[in-house]
A and B are shown apart, each in its own frame.
Chain A
Amino acid sequence: MLKPPTETIAFTLNGRPVTVEADPTTTAVDLIRYACGLTGTKDGCGVGECGACTVLVEGAPTLSCLMLAAELIGQHVTTIESMDDDRIGRMRDAFLAESALQCGFCTPGVILAASRIAAGASADEIRSALVGNVCRCTGYASIVRAVQRAHAGDLDRTEDPRPQESR
Chain B
Amino acid sequence: MSDSQSRDWIGTSIPRRDGPDKVWGRAIYPQDRPLPTGCLHAATVRAPVACARIEGVDVTPALSLPGVVRVLTANDVAGSNRFGLIEPDQPVLVDTHIAGPSDVVALVVGTNEREAREGARRVRLSLANGTPLVDPERSLDPDAPHVQPGRKGLNGHPNLLAERVVARGDVSAAMRAAAVVVEGVYRSGRVEHAFLAPEAGIATPDDDGGLTLYTATQWPTVDIQQAATALGEPVDRLRMVQDTVGGAFGGREDTSLQILLLLAARITGAPVRMVWDRAESIRGHGKRHPFRIRHRLGLDETGQILAMEADVLIDAGCYASTSSQLLDNALVHLCGPYEVPNVSLHGRAVLTNNAFTCAFRGFGVNQVAFAVEQQMNKAAVELELSPSEIRKRNLVRGPAVLGGGSRLDSEGGLFATLQMATDAAERRPLPRSDDTVAYGRGMAVAVKNIGFGFGFDDSSTAEVTLDGDGAIVCVGAAEVGQGSETMLIQIAASVLGLDPDVVRVEWRDTRLAPDAGASSASRQTVASGNAVLGACERVLRGVNDAGGLENLPGACASARFTWRFPATTAFDQRPALHLSAFGWATCVADVAVDRSTGAVTVLRVVNAVDAGRVVNPALVRGQIEGGIVMGQGYALQERFYEDAGMPMTLGFESCGVPTALDAAPIIEALVVEVPEAIGPFGARGVGEIVMIPVVPAISAAIHAASGAWVDEIPALPDRVRAAIETRSE
Contact = CB atoms under 8 A, between A and B. Distances in A.
Do the two shown chains form a genuine complex with each other? yes
Interface of A: 1, 33, 37-47, 49-50, 52, 79-81, 92, 95-99, 101-108, 111, 123-124, 126-128, 130-144, 160-162, 167
Interface residues of B, number: 59
B247 interface: yes
B249 interface: yes
Q: Please name the 3 residue pairs, one residue from A and one from B, whose CB atoms are nearest each other, closest first.
A: A40-B25, A103-B481, A104-B22
A103 B660 contact: no
Interface of B: 13, 15-16, 18-29, 31-32, 34, 66-67, 193-198, 244-249, 277-278, 480-483, 618-619, 621-622, 625-630, 651-653, 657, 659-661, 663, 665, 667, 669
A103 B23 contact: no
B659 A131 contact: yes
A31 to B, nearest CB: 14
B197 A80 contact: no
B27 A45 contact: no
A98 B15 CA distance: 9
B26 A44 contact: no
Contacts of A138: 622, 625-626
Contacts of B627: 139
B109 to A, nearest CB: 18
Contacts of A47: 278, 651
Contact of A161 (B20, B195, B245, B246): B20
A96 B19 contact: yes
Contacts of A123: 665
Contacts of A97: 15
Q: By DSSP majority rule, is chain A's interface helix, strand, loop, or mixed?
A: loop
Contacts of B480: 103
B660 A140 contact: yes
B418 to A, nearest CB: 22
A137 B278 contact: no
B196 A44 contact: yes
Given A41-B25, A127-B660, A99 B194 contact: no
Contacts of B28: 39
A46 B15 CA distance: 32
A145 B165 CA distance: 48
Contacts of B619: 99
A128 B19 CA distance: 25
Contact of B667 (A96, A128, A134, A141): A141
Contacts of B667: 139, 141
A132 B660 CA distance: 8
Contact of A50 (B16, B196, B660, B669): B196
A134 B626 CA distance: 12
Nearest to B281: A45
B663 A127 contact: yes
A33 B33 CA distance: 11
Given A44-B197, A104-B246, A134 B651 contact: no
B21 to A, nearest CB: 8
Contacts of B660: 126-128, 130-131, 133, 135, 140, 143-144
A141 B629 CA distance: 9
B481 A137 contact: yes
Nearest to B663: A140
A97 B482 CA distance: 17
